[in-house]
Amino acid sequence: MRIERARGTRDFLPKEMRKRRIMEERMRDIAERWGYEEIRTPTFERAELFTQKSGQAILKEMYEFRDKGDRHLALRPELTAPVIRMYINELKMTPKPTKVYYFGNCFRYEEPQKARYREFWQFGTEIIGSDRPEAQAELIALAFHILKSLGVKAELHVGHVGLIRERLRVLHADEEQINTVMRLMDKGEREAVIESMDERKRDEIGYLLDGLSDLIDSKDKDAFKEARDRNIIASDSNALQELELLLELLEYYGVDYTLNLGIARGLDYYTGMVFEIYEAGGKLGAQNQICGGGSYRLAKLFGGDDIPSTGFAFGVDRLEEIFSVDDKDLERRGVVVVPIRDKDADREVMKAAIEIASRLREFVPTHIDLMNRSLSAQLKYANAHHDSFAVLVGKNELKEAKVTLRNLNTGEQEKISVDDLCDEIKGLF
């Protein structure tokens, strides 16, 4: 019986994996050079780690189960909560800020769509111990630098949930009301926001939202002055001072941005800056968000100290859709060692072929015949495998203490000692 793969999952063929590895290596290399260290968390966690962060409703979106010890577990739907759990358990004594990055698969039980699967991959970074504008700006600049290295045309939207929360508190809204407003704003449901408030506050909320909408998509810092004058934003707002410094620092990094205070984030642990990055080349259509991040406080929720953090995560699957690489870079250039078998010298030939392959494997992809094929069949396989060179080892070569090196692209060949072979192949690869 033929068994199909599970819905919402994929098989990655060798060429696809080479493309993904090229992309992943670029991302890892940049994160390392910016001073971030890699970590890895378990594929499954206790389910409460995610319900404490996102509420019981997330159980409907997760692969969750009871193990043989009746423990409630879940395949991780995201990586921020596991990273903070790891920090509390293992890293809280490290010097601050703690700068880490991760790459891993996640799982969500939802309807598969284009570049959106039930098993998907995230690449992200976290700065734990600081949510200052300097940390926020570095993180955003890092995200942009990574996208630039991948050749992705990107558009950044920056907001700050603190501005809205500050003004709602002035209107004497309680935290539950504020969180409701933030969730509705995150969905773009302006009228529902107004309806959610006490009747006496609806006019003020409407005025506030009208004023905030004037700031959306504006890079003009004079818009902040007008918002202060209209009492949309308090003149002594800490959130505004933080946002203004962040935008100034982004200019130092050479990062273009669009101010978008409509990014509200419906979860109450987001405390300050929030941002989203969209693919701006038109390659992903309407579902073009490729990165999201912000400043948050999760550690206290999981039993740790109330420490600030700033992070972001890329949707790697969407990035792969738009990441392009030259076909030549995806070809597996390697060497095949070809034993020319002979009844009188079969063991000696195989011994020499294996020894040569072992030396070449120290610095170049190398394979050797495993099917007792003829010389012509081995060379045909090597061409189909896109190998660059064949090293022929036979009875005659053994007598001369040499091998025949054949260029599979040009057909040229020469006899050469094994030491010279290794030097020449090393220089070519």
- Considering the domain architecture, whether residues 261 and 356 belong to the same structural domain is answered as no
The answer to whether 112 and 118 are in contact (CB under 8 A) is yes
Q: Is the pLDDT of residue 375 over 80?
A: yes
286 in the same domain as 170: yes
Specify the number of domains making up the chain.
Answer: 2
* Percent of the chain with pLDDT strictly greater than 70: 86
Which has the minimum average pLDDT: 45-54, 102-111, 260-269? 260-269
| Residue 306 belongs to domain with CATH number | 3.30.930.10
Domain range spanning residue 392?
Answer: 332-428
Highest mean pLDDT (candidates 266-270, 284-288, 399-403) = 399-403
157-202 pLDDT, tens digit per residue, is: 998 888 777 777 766 667 777 777 777 666 666 666 666 666 666 6
Same domain, 204 and 264: yes
Residues 256 and 315 reside in one and the same domain: yes
Identify the domain boundary among 291, 322, 353.
322
Q: Looking at residue 168, what is its pLDDT?
A: 72
Residue 209 is predicted with a pLDDT of 64
Task: Write the CATH number for 367.
Answer: 3.40.50.800
Asked which of 322, 342, 362 is the last residue of a domain, the reply is 322
Q: Which residues are CB-neighbours of 35 under 8 A, at least 6 positions away?
A: 99
Question: Is pLDDT of 54 > 60?
Answer: yes
Residue 130: name the closest of 303, 296, 308 by CA: 308
Q: Please say if the pLDDT value at position 60 is more than 80.
A: yes
Per the DSSP assignment, residues forming a β-bridge with 291 are: 277, 314
Residue 88 in this model has a pLDDT that exceeds 90? yes
pLDDT at 268: 63
Do the domain assignments include residue 3? Answer: no
Model pLDDT for residues 107-156, shown as the tens digit of each residue? 999 888 776 899 999 999 999 999 999 999 999 999 999 999 999 999 99
**For residue 329, what pLDDT is reported?**
67
- 373 in any annotated domain: yes
| Residue ending a domain, choose from 288, 322, 356 | 322
CA pair distance 399, 25, nearest whole angstrom: 45
First to last CA, the chain: 44
DSSP letter for 116, please. B
Q: Which of 107, 108, 144, 109 is nearest to 125 (CA)?
A: 144
To which H or E segment does residue 14 belong?
helix 14-33
Q: Is the pLDDT of residue 367 over 70?
A: yes
Please report the pLDDT score of residue 414 as a whole number: 94
294 within some domain: yes
Same domain, 318 and 337: no
**Mean pLDDT across the stretch 385-402?**
92
Considering the domain architecture, whether residues 295 and 421 belong to the same structural domain is answered as no
User: What percent of the chain clears pLDDT 90, i.e. is strictly above it?
Assistant: 62
Query: Are residues 264 and 279 in contact, defined by beta-carbon separation less than 8 angstroms?
Result: no
Round the CA-based radius of gyration of the chain to a whole number and report it. 29
Among 20-34, 172-186, 222-236, 313-327, name the most confident range.
20-34
Q: What is the per-residue DSSP string for 129-185?
A: S--SHHHHHHHHHHHHHHHHHTT--EEEEEEEHHHHHHHHHHTT--HHHHHHHHHHH
